[in-house]
Homo-oligomer: A and B are copies of this chain.
Amino acid sequence: MYTSKNRNFRSLHALSKECTIIESVHNILEWDQETYMPAAAIELRSQQLEVMAKYLHKVKTQPKFKRLLSQLINIETGELISEELTLNEAACVQRWYRDYRIAASLPKAHVASAAKVCSKALHAWSEAKRLQSFESFAPHLQKIVKLAREKASYLTYKDHPYDALLDLYEPGLTTKILDPLFTKLQHTLTDLLRKIIARPQLEYPFLKLHFPSSEQIAVCNKILDLFPFPSKTTRLDISSHPFCNALNPKDVRMTTRIVPDRPLSSMFSVLHEAGHGLYETQLDTSWYGTPLCQSLSLGIHESQSRLWETFIGRSYPFWKYFFPILKQYFPNQLASIDIETFYQAINHVEPSLIRTEADEVTYCLHVIIRYEIEKDLIAGKLQAKDIPYIWKEKMRGYLGIAPESDDVGCLQDIHWAMGGIGYFPTYALGNLYAAQLFETYSLGEPCWDKDIEKGDFTKLAFWLKENLHIKGRLYTPQQTMKLLCDKDLSENAYIKYLHKKYKNLYQV
């Protein structure tokens, strides 16, 4: 464990570590709720979560934190004061300052009222989804939008109130960056999609056969074994929605979903969550309790999951290695299937209604639709009640299809009900970052495919560790991409990757 020579830094570290530990306890309650908790315990579980959240807030906002911080950084200007700090320590202080500034700028009353509104909104959302109609949820969302606008004004911003919200999830990200990027991305993807669906569409009936759960779990564990996790730091469980919950770098819990007649779901979920998990296990534990042992941003986190799920997981080299193994588990189901057919099947492109099930070409279009809607909500140009109409319009425009009911449309995701406006763009960013990282990696390792063909994940994992994971929040996401890929965030690498891949697959 790192020990600073600076007394104030040491005290801040201790406080920050306490917060980190409290958060990790909160996390185990959430993990348990989705995996092993007896169902009748749900009401008391929410009380446990509430007590822990209250405790965390108390520790985080105690005056001692501000007092210590102000010994090291000017609370007004953000300028470092102490000259005794090492570069790493200075970075920690700057990240602590950022987190403090965000927490301090939000009045208690605002936070409490947001919690109340969201709690009601969550119930309303799940009820509205059950009834397949957005109408009863609209007034709740309108309140959430109002609160989000308030939040933006507390947090302050330069150009667009939405920028303040974006920055919460992806430090430094603005509409000024996203607008041209998403516009170009949307045009290119919609264009590529049109070309692809103009081609003959194949069907893959073998993917609807029965793949027994126990074999699916065995396959998932086989996939996990390929990841060079540090010994005895991870586990895999089953839940209805796949997730990765890292209590700390030595306790990373991934889950997958098993659907007997949808065998791809469990495997790609495991590849996705393992990408998140690898990031967490490869953080630098000697800085535990500081920002240098924290992940960089939601977008960067998502880039890790998407890199393994799609760039590796949906690649030909990976299946050259893994398809023969998969066949051993499912000899009957895959008897007549060759690797080429399988590779085409897992990269089948088709406009669909649900984001989480979308292919590589259409995925970002779902995200862009939500981004555009969120931005207009925050700008006051759009009212919540009008969302179902605009949702269908945009779906038709970008994807060529539209939902018949809202449960598979604008109600499909929980984020709005949780107050998470500004979160969504990070899902698209994950793909763009991943493409840039993977482009850089494969330029330096032109024979990367030979490793993957042997099921060897170690070289890529090590590269990610040394260049990204182990640095924690030392740099901002922007600095990191610049340093690592010598490029700012852009859609180019992703588009290049898609064009190359789908040219082969669909002759477009």
Contacts and interface: CB of A to CB of B under 8 A. Distances in A.
Contact of A29 (B28, B230, B233, B248): B28
B24 A44 contact: yes
A51 B247 contact: no
B248 A38 contact: no
A237 B235 CA distance: 16
B21 A48 contact: yes
A427 to B, nearest CB: 28
A48 B26 CA distance: 11
Interface string A36-62: 111111011101100110010000000
A232 interface: yes
A232 B28 contact: no
B41 A247 contact: yes
Contacts of A231: 40
A51 B21 CA distance: 8
Contacts of A52: 25
B38 A235 contact: yes
A89 interface: no
A59 B36 CA distance: 29
A97 B111 CA distance: 37
A449 interface: no
A135 interface: no
Contacts of A22: 51
Contact of A48 (B24, B45, B47, B288): B24
Nearest to A252: B38
Interface residues of A, number: 36
B29 A32 contact: no
A38, A44, A251 interface centre (most CB from chain B within 10 Å): A38
Oligomeric state, in copies: 2
A228 to B, nearest CB: 14
A238 to B, nearest CB: 13
A501 interface: no
Given A41-B233, A41-B247, A51-B18, A29 B36 contact: no
Interface in A275-321: 288
Contact of A251 (B21, B40, B230, B247): B40
A277 to B, nearest CB: 11
A32 B41 contact: no
A21 B47 contact: yes
Contact of A32 (B32, B38, B248): B32
A28 B24 contact: no
Given A48-B24, A51-B18, A55-B55, A235 B40 contact: no
Contacts of A252: 38
A32 B232 CA distance: 15
Contacts of A8: none
Contact of A39 (B25, B32, B232): B232
A48 B289 CA distance: 12
A234 interface: yes
B55 A250 contact: no
Nearest to A235: B38
Nearest to A43: B250
Interface in A225-260: 230-235, 237, 247-248, 250-253
A101 B340 CA distance: 75
Closest 3 CB pairs of A and B: A41-B251, A39-B232, A40-B232
9 contacts: A24-B48, A25-B51, A25-B52, A36-B36, A38-B235, A38-B250, A38-B251, A41-B233, A41-B247
